[in-house]
Amino acid sequence: MEYKKQRMRELIATLSEASKAYYQENREIISNYEYDKLYDELVALEKETGVVLSQSPTVSVGYEALDELPKERHETPMLSLDKTKNVEDLKEFLGGQKALMSWKLDGLTIVLTYQGGELVKAVTRGNGEVGEVITPNARMFTNIPVRIAYQEELILRGEAVISYSDFEKINQEIEDVDAKYKNPRNLCSGSVRQLNNEITARRRVRFYAFSLVKADHVEFQNSREKQFEWLQSQGFEVVEHHMVTRETVEEQVAYFAEKIKTYDLPSDGLVLLYDDIAYGESLGRTAKFPRDSYAFKWADEIRETHLLQIEWSPSRTGLINPVAIFEPVELEGTTVSRASVHNLSIMKGLKLGIGDVIRVYKANMIIPQIEENLTQSGNVEIPAVCPVCGGKTRVNDANGIETLVCTNPDCQAKKIKSFTLFVSRDAMNIDGLSEATLEKFIAKGYIRELADIFRLKDYQEEIRQMEGFGEKSCENLLLSIEKARNTTLPRLLYSLGIPGIGVANAKMLCKAFQYDLNRMRTAEAEEYTQVDGIGEVLAGAIVEYFHDETKKKELSDLMSELTLEKTELPQERPVFDGMNFVVTGSVTRFKNRNELKAYIEERGGKVTGSVTSKTDYLINNDTTSGSSKNKKAKELNVPILSEEDFLKLADRGTDKIGEENERRKISAEGEN
């Protein structure tokens, strides 16, 4: 009995971690096949022992919603559906009843509420009990009615999805192979839960209704089909559905199975819902599932192949993950040759060995996974050293799940963030080097220090052979790297990742040291503290960086690969020298606020986030608004300028502006 309880604890830990990754982080750490197998084992053990442990996924649904968006509790819990891959189970479920068979769309479930004909609220499924409020984003869905004829309260549920064709268009605009989105579901989830609904609008999210929760005083003749028809009359698109009976269900499954080959919306199965509303509601629900509906999941296309090797892939967290490399096979229309094994426990459970005959499939027809190992030789050796840095490895065991980690704190794989900053847009601006791509190159030993990025051409043949790369993407990457060789000192300084040095500070320091890198490398802290905004702590961090022997060598190596653009030093004092600006509201004369900020900084000014006594000007095209920044500016006698006024100010010259500022400050002191 105790052994069985211990096994249940292990299963709950594994399943809970997998649910967290899937629902909260939009990633998969074990396959659907493996999840279902472990879940069924847990259900069997709970039935056998009569014990259901705390946190068991058999009595909890989904995972906790994130904190970035407001949370709200659903009026009616949103349960998962019991599921099968066997058509005979559907026949048994139907009995003598009629039911609607529809697509089980693979996106993000949303609850919409309308009052007085207006969309007033949209909430994600979340954990089934509590979801996230995404109302502004829902209004950006391409096919959602924001106003309907029905004036009473309407609550309905549906799936937000992004079509495969729109998904491909979005990915085509992304040059970096590893920055491309993995599948429509992940892209949709991220799009729906954006804090900026402008991004949602660009992603072409669509909504398909699949359940009516509340619509009082409407006659539906006790039929779910009539509910669907009524929702369509109100302007909603509903999931494609067909009425079935026990006699016709197999034929309809075959119809959907054929159609999914060319269907443009992501689907991971079908749903059966009793047409008789009263009958379905009378059945109630279990702790986890409603009894009026049933899900049918597609059987996976499975191929046999041979395991060629296990590739060990280090990550920024220190984990070294096993990846199975096998003889290429065709799955769901594409050729695959590798699949993540996730961790040592899964690898050991599969008893993987080189040369083994394995069965592989694509989870949800997207992610390659190993279903089972037919040979089970178990001859894979666990590496004693990290493949990137050569440091010692260690096997960690947490809740019965074994992982391999690198123990070297200075492992290059753990410093991925510094490389990511180096290639970012405001730094060296190298397209095609996403964090994931950098991780791969570091893992293969192509990159050990920053200068190595400019030597990637030495590995161009190997890069062309890497999964996801080809002639064109490799060529684009190398062209982007060559272009980045010619850069500016502010970009270089920011790219080094010196603690406390952002884009603005980098520009300011370069001006203060007259764009002389050698002078900056040899300066002492006292010289840095003379620069406006640089205190003792920040000055100490800069000096420490430039005096560190390892950093000095890395910077020297890097400079041998770069050419710094010469900057003409201004002969006169910049027009906004020493002035502080705050920018708020929308802009019309500049592309965006960042462009306006750059304009100010190029002329010696500084842009801050809040209005204080040190602020010289607030720029806001709505000069008469009652915004908090406007109010604060008026309290402190800080002039509020429109863009037109600001540009006129820029034309007046340094001395003229300085005189005006001095008079204004004297006047303000007199009033006080």
* Whole-number pLDDT of residue 334: 73
> What confidence category does residue 522 fall into, taking pLDDT thresholds of 50, 70 and 90?
very high
Question: Who has greater pLDDT, 445 or 658?
Answer: 445
Residue 64 pLDDT > 50, yes or no?
no
- Cα separations in angstroms, 516 against 433, 476, 513, 568: 29, 32, 6, 12
Residue 188 pLDDT > 60, yes or no?
yes
pTM to 2 decimal places: 0.52
Distance, in Å, from the CA atom of 447 to the CA atom of 481, rounded to the nearest integer, reads: 13
Residue 39 pLDDT > 70, yes or no?
yes
Q: List the structure tokens of 105.
A: 């769309």
The chain-wide mean pLDDT, for the chain, equals 84
* Whole-number pLDDT of residue 67: 44
> What confidence category does residue 661 fall into, taking pLDDT thresholds of 50, 70 and 90?
low
Residue 411 labelled as part of a binding site? yes
Phi (first) and psi of residue 605, to 5 degrees: -85, 175
* Whole-number pLDDT of residue 480: 93
Burial environment of residue 409 by CB neighbours within 10 A (0 to 12, 13 to 18, 19 or more): exposed
Q: List the structure tokens of 389.
A: 């840095």
> What confidence category does residue 62 fall into, taking pLDDT thresholds of 50, 70 and 90?
very low
Residue 634 labelled as part of a binding site? no
Question: Who has greater pLDDT, 33 or 460?
Answer: 460
Q: Could you tell me how far CA 84 lies from the centroid of its own chain? A: 31
The alpha helices in 466-535, defined as continuous H runs, are 471-484, 489-495, 503-512, 517-522, 525-529
Question: Who has greater pLDDT, 438 or 5?
Answer: 438
* Whole-number pLDDT of residue 481: 95
Catalytically active residues, by annotation: 104
Residue 551 labelled as part of a binding site? no
Distance, in Å, from the CA atom of 495 to the CA atom of 551, rounded to the nearest integer, reads: 13
Residue 320 pLDDT > 80, yes or no?
yes
Helix (H) or strand (E) holding 402: strand 401-406
Question: Do residues 61 and 79 touch, judged by C-beta distance below 8 A?
Answer: yes
Residue of 585, 603, 579, 602 whose CA lies nearest to 643:
585
Residue 389 labelled as part of a binding site? yes
Instruction: Give the burial string for 299-308 (b: 16+ CB within 10 Å, else e).
Output: ebeebebebb
Distance, in Å, from the CA atom of 205 to the CA atom of 140, rounded to the nearest integer, reads: 8
> What confidence category does residue 126 fall into, taking pLDDT thresholds of 50, 70 and 90?
confident
pLDDT digits (tens, 9 = 90+) for 269-306: 999 999 999 999 898 887 778 889 999 987 767 889 99
Q: What share of the chain is helix, strand, coil (3-state, %, to 5)?
A: 40, 20, 40
Residue 53 labelled as part of a binding site? no
Residue 386 labelled as part of a binding site? yes
Pairing status of strand 118-124 against strand 83-84: unpaired
- Cα separations in angstroms, 98 against 273, 279, 520, 560: 9, 11, 79, 75
What is the three-state SS of 174-198?
CCCHHHCCCCHHHHHHHHHCCCCHH
* Whole-number pLDDT of residue 136: 87
Q: What is the mean pLDDT of residues 100-121?
A: 92
Question: Do residues 412 and 389 touch, judged by C-beta distance below 8 A?
Answer: yes
Residue 510 labelled as part of a binding site? no
> What confidence category does residue 154 fall into, taking pLDDT thresholds of 50, 70 and 90?
very high
- Cα separations in angstroms, 255 against 84, 237, 251: 18, 21, 6
Distance, in Å, from the CA atom of 443 to the CA atom of 388, rounded to the nearest integer, reads: 5
* Whole-number pLDDT of residue 205: 93
End-to-end CA distance of the chain: 81
Residue 297 labelled as part of a binding site? yes
Q: Is the C-alpha dihedral spanning 132, 136, 142, 148 positive or negative?
A: positive
